[in-house]
């Protein structure tokens, strides 16, 4: 542990020794650190590649350092040159190590003269893990091709050679050329009125981590939703998206009232094609979002509350390594709940907190002990670190702190935390040092430090962890129990008034294998097969498949083919692979859907199939 008073404001939040400790990066930022990135890229749709160069501004920390080590994955390096303080360029020797399956290839550049900058000319490959290339037919409007990035967790290295660690923060400028009529956007300040002339420039003046580096290009229209926000999407989608997200300014103001000014200037949203593998990605200035949020009633806008909350927890104060990702996601999920409560009411915020807590409790029993820790021991991969534990256990811990210390006291603490660590990357231990000094020591007797250590370093959730009460959920519990017991018919469920979250809760509480006749009764009464609501559909199809209802298979296949979001698609695949017939059917669905899936989704499905064939059906 490092005492909190050793931390300082400025670009370098971590001690140099800690910077070198990221097991998911080859970089050696204790020797030399990238402080600024200049990108010059060309979007080549026919060849599904980015061509260009990355110029890295360097801050040399070790006078004896002989090389610059960068992270890459499947990049084709054409040349490397050093640029001295006077601007003179000269070729540098470099070596690209053999590819590691997870980490990619270490790029070692000989730099005995410690150049001020290094320029790398390179090309990406069509299968870059951080990029997806879509044909016009795979988009909503089917007019132009589309490309987008997903750099989290360690996929930025597949499209830019850099120090791909959240501990390293850098500013960036970019120039991107693309075909005319194509709009390019990045995780920087974007201009909704930019002409579609094939020539785009961007600037990100705030230091960010590499996983927040983002780019997209395609048939993208823009529609303002407020004085500092706009929605970007394909022309046929942008109007619906702007209506769904018309409360964006209210959400920003609610967050500012709680935690201080929004530091990033604009907050824009890009609604991607449905192959996007996540609900949302908090890229600074430009959240990337899934179209599955567009259900017409704003019931899933909490995902936007979550991505906006990252503007404080994650983008402003960042986890130093993937082991510490709960500092991003747990804090953000807590802040999301507070924004949702402020704009849409406490009842909805409590319902969402209960859904996440109950889901976590159910899933923990199938997790290895180490994966249940907020700060796990070594051995978990970067992508694997992003589970419901950092999100849901992390936010549950913060709700516990709020309850013990009181909302007013905890709000003041959290606002100070964000201000103190602004634009820094920190470890769990640094956060805990600050917590002890600024909350526990100033408010003694509210909670023991042993309880904190149990939450952070031990598996599971403490038995006395507090949960909010939801009268509507309590009523649903009773109705579900009566229905399963046979004393209440499906058509007598008081479900006409249920919102999305209440349907989610009802379905989540059904047995893992619900009797087939009960499934048939629910569908006959409420017509869930074919629902346009993907949250409800994911739960419904998973239960129906598990119950053996083959009548839903075509609708489930349509859901799986249309949606590439991992969270909404993988549960159906997992349900199918539990039987030989289901596995065979899932393989047929995947063969048709594969080309529309993101590489992350492809990897997840193929890994599931491989395990199922070995007898592991989880």
Cβ-contact 268, 189 below 8 angstroms: no
* Whether the predicted pLDDT of 188 surpasses 90: yes
CA dist list (Å): 550 to 212, 349, 525, 605: 42, 36, 18, 21
Answer yes or no: is 256 a known binding residue: no
CA atoms of 23 and 1, how far apart (whole Å): 18
Residue 424 lies in a domain: yes
* Whether the predicted pLDDT of 5 surpasses 50: no
Same-domain pairing of 51 and 93: yes
What mean pLDDT comes out for the span 144-170?
98
* Whether the predicted pLDDT of 15 surpasses 90: no
Same-domain pairing of 416 and 451: yes
* Cβ-based burial of 599 (10 A; exposed 0-12, middle 13-18, buried ≥19): middle
CA dist list (Å): 301 to 225, 270, 296, 298, 304: 14, 14, 10, 5, 5
Same-domain pairing of 266 and 331: no
* Whether the predicted pLDDT of 8 surpasses 60: no
| Residue 571: its H or E element | helix 566-576
Q: Is 606 a catalytic residue?
A: no
Same-domain pairing of 201 and 224: no
CA atoms of 316 and 417, how far apart (whole Å): 11
Last residue of a domain, one of 287, 310, 333: 310
Residue 397 lies in a domain: yes
Per-residue pLDDT of 288-329, as tens digits, reads: 999 999 999 999 999 999 999 999 999 999 999 999 999 999
Last residue of a domain, one of 268, 285, 310: 310
What is the extent of the structural domain holding 42? 26-132+144-214
Residue 244 lies in a domain: yes
* Whether the predicted pLDDT of 285 surpasses 90: yes
Per-residue pLDDT of 554-602, as tens digits, reads: 999 999 999 999 999 999 999 999 999 999 999 999 999 999 999 889 9
| Tokens 């993208």 found at | 220
Same-domain pairing of 120 and 242: no
pLDDT at 1: 32
Same-domain pairing of 304 and 410: no
- For residue 389, the domain's CATH number is 1.10.390.10
What mean pLDDT comes out for the span 397-401?
98
Per-residue pLDDT of 508-530, as tens digits, reads: 999 999 999 999 999 999 999 99
Same-domain pairing of 407 and 322: yes
- For residue 224, the domain's CATH number is 3.30.2010.30
Total count of domains within the chain: 4
3-class DSSP state for residue 169? strand
Per-residue pLDDT of 52-100, as tens digits, reads: 999 999 999 999 999 999 999 999 999 999 999 999 999 999 999 999 9
Specify which residues 79 forms β-bridges with.
121
* Whether the predicted pLDDT of 20 surpasses 60: no
Per-residue pLDDT of 428-472, as tens digits, reads: 999 999 999 999 999 999 999 999 999 999 999 999 999 999 999
Torsion angle (degrees, nearest 10) of CA 531, 532, 536, 539: 70
What mean pLDDT comes out for the span 157-174?
98
Answer yes or no: is 451 a known binding residue: no
CA atoms of 513 and 511, how far apart (whole Å): 5
Residue 47 lies in a domain: yes
pLDDT at 7: 30
Same-domain pairing of 186 and 252: no
Residue 467 lies in a domain: no
What is the share, in percent, of the chain residues with pLDDT greater than 90?
95
* Whether the predicted pLDDT of 12 surpasses 50: no
Same-domain pairing of 76 and 181: yes
Select which of 81, 307, 351, 352 is catalytic. 307
Answer yes or no: is 559 a known binding residue: no
Residue 466 lies in a domain: no
3-state secondary structure 376-435: CCCCCCCHHHCCHHHHHHHHHHHHHHHHHHCHHHHHHHHHHHHHHCCCEEECHHHHHHHH
Tell me what the pLDDT averaged over the chain comes to. Answer: 95
* Whether the predicted pLDDT of 265 surpasses 80: yes
- For residue 206, the domain's CATH number is 2.60.40.1730
Tell me which residue of 548, 552, 549 sits closest to 530, measured CA to CA. Answer: 552
- For residue 577, the domain's CATH number is 1.25.40.320
CA dist list (Å): 305 to 28, 43, 301, 500: 35, 31, 7, 16
Residue 555 lies in a domain: yes
Last residue of a domain, one of 214, 248, 266: 214
CA atoms of 225 and 222, how far apart (whole Å): 10
Q: Is 451 a catalytic residue?
A: no
Q: What is the DSSP string of 425-482?
A: EE-HHHHHHHHIIIIITTSTTSS-HHHHHHHHHSSS--TT------HHHHHHHHHHHH
What mean pLDDT comes out for the span 349-358?
96
What mean pLDDT comes out for the span 594-617?
92
CA atoms of 155 and 5, how far apart (whole Å): 34
Same-domain pairing of 304 and 290: yes
Rg (CA), the chain: 24
pLDDT at 617: 60
Select which of 94, 172, 391, 590 is catalytic. 391
Same-domain pairing of 168 and 247: no
pLDDT at 618: 61
Specify which residues 36 forms β-bridges with.
57, 171
Q: What is the DSSP string of 201-251?
A: EEEEEEEEEGGG--EEEES-EEEEEETTEEEEE-HHHHHHHHHHTTTHHHH
Residue 475 lies in a domain: no
Q: Buried (b) or exposed (e) across 238-269, using 16+ Cβ within 10 A?
A: beebbebbebbeebbebbeebbbebebebbbb
Same-domain pairing of 532 and 589: yes
């Amino acid at each position: 542990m490092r005492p909190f008073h050793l931390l300082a404001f400025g670009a370098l939040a971590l001690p140099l020794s800690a910077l070198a400790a990221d097991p998911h990066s080859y970089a050696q930022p204790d020797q030399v650190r990238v402080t600024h990135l200049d990108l010059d890229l060309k979007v080549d749709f026919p060849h599904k590649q980015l061509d260009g160069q990355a110029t890295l501004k360097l801050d040399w920390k070790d006078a004896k350092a002989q090389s610059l080590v960068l992270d890459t994955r499947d990049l084709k390096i054409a040349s490397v040159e050093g640029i001295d303080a006077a601007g003179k360029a000269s070729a540098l020797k470099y070596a690209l190590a053999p590819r590691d399956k997870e980490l990619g290839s270490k790029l070692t550049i000989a730099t005995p003269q410690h150049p001020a900058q290094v320029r790398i000319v390179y090309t990406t490959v069509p299968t870059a893990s951080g990029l997806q290339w879509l044909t016009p037919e795979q988009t909503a409007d089917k007019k132009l091709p589309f490309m987008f990035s997903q750099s989290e967790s360690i996929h930025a290295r597949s499209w830019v050679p850099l120090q791909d660690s959240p501990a390293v923060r850098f500013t960036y400028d970019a120039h991107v050329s693309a075909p005319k009529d194509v709009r390019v956007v990045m995780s920087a300040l974007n201009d909704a009125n930019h002409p579609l002339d094939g020539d785009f420039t961007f600037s990100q003046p705030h230091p960010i981590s590499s996983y927040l580096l983002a780019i997209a290009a395609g048939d993208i229209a823009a529609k303002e939703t407020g004085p500092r926000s706009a929605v970007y999407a394909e022309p046929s989608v942008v109007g619906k998206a702007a209506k769904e997200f018309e409360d964006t300014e209210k959400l920003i103001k609610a967050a500012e009232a709680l935690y201080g000014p929004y530091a990033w200037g604009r907050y824009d949203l890009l609604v991607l094609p449905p192959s996007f593998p996540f609900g949302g990605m908090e890229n600074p200035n430009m959240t990337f979002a899934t179209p599955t949020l567009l259900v017409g009633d704003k019931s899933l806008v909490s995902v936007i509350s979550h991505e906006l909350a990252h503007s404080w927890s994650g983008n402003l104060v960042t986890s130093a390594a993937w082991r510490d990702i709960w500092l991003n996601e747990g804090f953000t999920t807590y802040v999301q709940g507070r924004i949702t409560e402020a704009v849409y009411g406490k009842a909805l915020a409590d319902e969402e907190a209960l859904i996440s807590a109950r889901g976590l409790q159910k899933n923990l029993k199938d997790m290895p002990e180490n994966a249940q820790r907020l700060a796990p021991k070594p051995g978990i991969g970067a992508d694997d670190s992003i589970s419901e534990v950092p999100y849901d256990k992390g936010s549950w811990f913060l709700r516990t702190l709020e309850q013990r210390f009181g909302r007013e006291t905890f709000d003041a603490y959290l606002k100070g935390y964000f201000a103190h660590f602004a634009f820094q990357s920190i470890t769990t231990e640094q956060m805990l040092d600050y917590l002890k000094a600024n909350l526990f020591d100033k408010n003694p007797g509210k909670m023991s430090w042993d309880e904190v250590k149990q939450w952070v370093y031990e598996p599971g959730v403490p038995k006395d962890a507090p949960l909010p009460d939801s009268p509507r959920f309590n009523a649903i519990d009773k109705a579900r129990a009566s229905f399963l017991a046979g004393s209440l018919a499906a058509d007598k469920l008081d479900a006409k008034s249920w919102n999305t979250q209440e349907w989610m809760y009802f379905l989540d509480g059904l047995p893992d294998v619900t009797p087939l006749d009960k499934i048939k009764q629910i569908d006959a009464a409420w017509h869930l097969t074919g629902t346009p609501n993907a949250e409800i559909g994911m739960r419904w199809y998973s239960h129906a498949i598990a119950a053996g209802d083959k009548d839903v298979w075509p609708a489930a296949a349509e859901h799986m083919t249309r949606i590439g979001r991992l969270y909404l698609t993988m549960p159906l695949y997992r349900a199918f692979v539990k039987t030989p017939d289901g596995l065979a059917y899932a393989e047929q669905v995947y063969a048709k859907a594969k080309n529309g899936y993101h590489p992350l989704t492809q990897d997840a499905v193929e890994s599931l199939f491989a395990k199922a064939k070995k007898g592991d059906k989880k």
